[in-house]
Amino acid sequence: MAGFIEIKDPTDERLDDYRALRTSGRPTESDSGAFLCEGMLGVERLLDSDMMVRSVLVSSTKLDRLRARLVDRDVKVLVASQDVLNATVGFNIHRGVIASAWRRPPVAVHDLLAGSETVAALEGISDHENLGAIFRSALALGIDGVVLDAACGDPYYRRVVRVSMGAAFALPFARIAAPANIIDVLDGSGYSSIALTPDPAALPIDRLALAEGERPALLLGAEGAGLRSETLLRATYRVRIPIRDAVDSLNVGHAAAVAFHRFGSV
């Protein structure tokens, strides 16, 4: 059963997980294997998942909305005024709730690829909003898992979790350790790599027809830089999303959603 604890002092040590988030420079509690989830919808999805929740910090005005999800969970619930929440986290947390939870054990990339039919493969995507948008679209549009290279951001970083609406709680992901090459890993697991590029010489995405049994891995690169030249050269296919000449490219999060809709299982 949840334990409800009223907190009146922002210096209370029981708030240490949530302290000075804007200025501390710690996106997650990576050393202890924990992460933070901010916002009502994200925390609701966290509580609905099988993730192990450490504690929930919630304003007294938002508690009733979460109460039904909390009563049967073995989780510490810290209830405070909005002023105490703001003083603790270091900014106006107007959503009124934030939670701390344990990360799942890492998934081996070969296990993820063996159990999937369609994956997103990300190269150098470190922007939090783009990474969160990609995870959200991947879960919504039928992508089975996400492969990240060593330069990608952390799917459990609180801003990524917020933008993704908690998609990482349901969508498996795995990271390729440097210096392994993402194309080598995909080829070794029998995937056809589909590299997205704004290059006008690339095949329009709606004209690519895969053979029966061909498993696609949708390759996406960082905003601006895109995929590395070696990755583009070695990919099985290079495709583009047709757009008007007045626009040079789409945001990578938007491009990902188009590609996922084309090749996902929905």
Across residues 16-41, what is the average pLDDT?
Answer: 72
Weakest-pLDDT range from 75-84, 174-183, 207-216: 174-183
Q: Average pLDDT in the 233-239 region?
A: 97
Where does the chain have alpha helices with state H? 40-48, 63-70, 82-89, 109-114, 128-140, 158-164, 182-188, 229-234, 252-263
The CA-CA-CA angle for residues 115, 118, 119, to 5°, reads: 90
User: pLDDT at position 24, please?
Assistant: 47
Cβ–Cβ < 8 Å for 151, 123: yes
Higher-confidence position of 24 and 51:
51
Beta-bridge mates of residue 263: none
pLDDT the model gives residue 20? 76
On the question of pLDDT at 30 being above 90, the answer is no
Whether residue 253 has pLDDT greater than 90? yes
Q: Is-same-fold flag (3-102; 109-263)?
A: no
Q: Which two tokens stand for residue 265?
A: 């299982």
Tell me which of 27 and 243 has the higher pLDDT: 243
Check: CB of residue 252 under 8 Å from CB of residue 129.
Answer: no
Let me know: does 168 contact 115? Beta carbons within 8 Å: no
Q: Do β-strands 3-6 and 53-59 pair in parallel, antiparallel, or remain unpaired? A: unpaired
Q: In 3-state terms, the chain is what percent helix, strand and coil (to 5)?
A: 35, 25, 45
What percent of the chain has pLDDT above 90? 82
Q: Is the pLDDT of residue 26 over 80?
A: no
**Is 3-102 a domain of CATH 3.30.1330.30?**
yes
What is the value of pTM for the model shown?
0.91
Q: Which amino acid is at 247?
A: V
Question: What average pLDDT does range 140-164 have in this prediction?
Answer: 95
23: pLDDT strictly greater than 80: no
Fold type of domain 109-263:
Alpha/beta knot (3.40.1280)
Per-domain residue ranges of the chain: 3-102, 109-263
| pLDDT higher than threshold 90 for residue 179 | no
pLDDT value of position 204: 97
* Residue, of 29 and 121, whose pLDDT is higher: 121
Angle, CA 126 vertex, CA 245 and CA 186 arms, to 5°: 85
The confidence band for 225, taking pLDDT boundaries of 50, 70 and 90, is: confident
Helix/strand number for the chain, H first, E second: 9, 12
What is the rounded average pLDDT for all residues in the chain? 92
Residue type for position 39: G
What is the band of 32 on the pLDDT scale with cuts at 50, 70, 90? low
Q: Which amino acid is at 246?
A: A
Which of 124, 137, 121, 138 has the alpha carbon at shortest distance from 237?
121
With a cut of 90, say whether residue 56 has pLDDT above it.
yes
pLDDT of residue 249: 85
Which tokens sit at 61? Answer: 């005005």
What is the separation of C-alpha 102 from the centre of its chain, rounded to a whole number of angstroms?
15
- Residue 73: pLDDT band with limits 50, 70, 90: confident
Higher pLDDT among residues 118 and 225, named by residue:
118
Secondary structure letter of residue 32 according to DSSP: G
